[in-house]
């Protein structure tokens, strides 16, 4: 059973997706952690995916977003999102969102909307199934991030952290980060809210972009540059999903990784590719 404190934490977290539609500008609620500090990129993606859905054409949903992080989004500072229609097609619509803080662009996002075709009428293929050795979340201990171990009720998610796979003989990894996640209470039947929460999870990579230093719990020198996410199927963020991250290459002071998000049946719900700034610790 959830504690009152846990419910309050989830309420505060969901408030970050509350919107104030002001015409061509959407004001988005910004979490305030009491410090002047950059927000985790997943929180920013949550807010922008929610804002994008406000402008989704009738009968469509957000199926992809491509974001460039231009400046850090600072906690406690108002965030305003300007929207522009780039193309309004019969099947696909493209919007450009520009998130601003203090009159400066912080994030630019190209969003695409379309309607899903019934699988019976579509060409369906899926690299489905859960990876070998991944246990069911109900059989694993609840394991919040180290920063929340002393106060787990201050963490809105329920998680099961699996870590990376064992290194291969050549020193590479099949996966550099894996964990189960869900919001541990029933959420409203709002597809846009669930999609926004899954957008948050696409940026959940742990230390997976730094394979040669996975044992160092320090994000110093790691910063998202751009981020692309695709939402293949609707799903609920209050049900279990697995994040599986693979680091592809670190070169030139940058790293590129990709991940997939699967449901309990192993179906791929969302996927991501990201480039980040990497500097030695």
pLDDT band at 15 (very low <50, low <70, confident <90, very high): confident
Q: What are the structural domains of the chain?
A: 4-278 (2.40.160.210)
User: How many other CB atoms are found less than 10 A from the CB of residue 270?
Assistant: 24
Mean per-residue pLDDT of the chain: 88
Of the candidates 190, 199, 189, the one whose C-alpha atom is nearest the C-alpha of residue 270 is: 199
pLDDT digits (tens, 9 = 90+) for 86-100: 999 999 999 999 999
Q: Widest CA span of the chain, in angstroms?
A: 56
pLDDT digits (tens, 9 = 90+) for 233-276: 999 999 999 999 999 998 999 999 999 999 999 999 999 999 99
Task: Give me the pLDDT at residue 20, please.
Answer: 86
pLDDT digits (tens, 9 = 90+) for 184-215: 999 999 999 999 999 999 999 988 888 877 77
Tell me the CB-side half-sphere exposure of residue 165, using CA atoms within 13 A.
17
Reading the block at residue 179, the tokens are 């964990």
Give, to the nearest 10 degrees, the angle between helix 41-54 and helix 191-202: 150
């Amino acid at each position: 059973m959830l504690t009152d404190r846990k419910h309050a934490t989830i309420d505060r977290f969901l408030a970050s997706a509350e919107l104030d539609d002001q015409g061509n500008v959407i004001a988005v609620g910004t979490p305030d952690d009491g410090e002047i500090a950059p927000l985790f990129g997943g929180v920013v993606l949550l807010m922008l995916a929610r804002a994008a859905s406000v402008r989704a054409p009738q009968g469509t949903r957000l199926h992809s977003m491509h974001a460039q992080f231009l400046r850090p989004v600072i906690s406690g500072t108002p965030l305003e999102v300007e929207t522009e229609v780039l193309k309004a097609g019969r099947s696909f619509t493209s919007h450009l969102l520009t998130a601003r803080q203090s009159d400066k662009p912080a994030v630019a996002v190209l969003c695409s909307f379309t309607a899903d075709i019934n699988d019976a009428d579509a060409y369906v293929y899926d690299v489905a199934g859960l990876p070998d050795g991944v246990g069911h979340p109900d059989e694993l201990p609840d394991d919040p991030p180290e920063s929340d171990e002393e106060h787990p009720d201050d963490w809105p998610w329920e998680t099961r952290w699996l870590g990376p796979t064992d290194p291969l003989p050549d020193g590479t990894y099949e996966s550099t980060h894996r964990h189960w996640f869900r919001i541990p209470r029933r959420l409203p039947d709002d597809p846009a809210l669930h999609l926004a929460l899954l957008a948050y999870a696409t940026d959940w990579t742990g230390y997976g972009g730094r394979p040669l230093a996975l044992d160092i719990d320090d994000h110093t020198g790691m910063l998202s540059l751009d981020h692309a996410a695709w939402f293949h199927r609707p799903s609920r963020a209050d049900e279990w999903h697995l994040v599986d991250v693979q680091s592809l290459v670190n070169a030139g002071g940058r790293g590129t990784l990709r991940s997939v998000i699967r449901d309990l049946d192993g179906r791929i719900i969302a996927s991501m590719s990201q480039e980040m700034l990497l500097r030695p610790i």
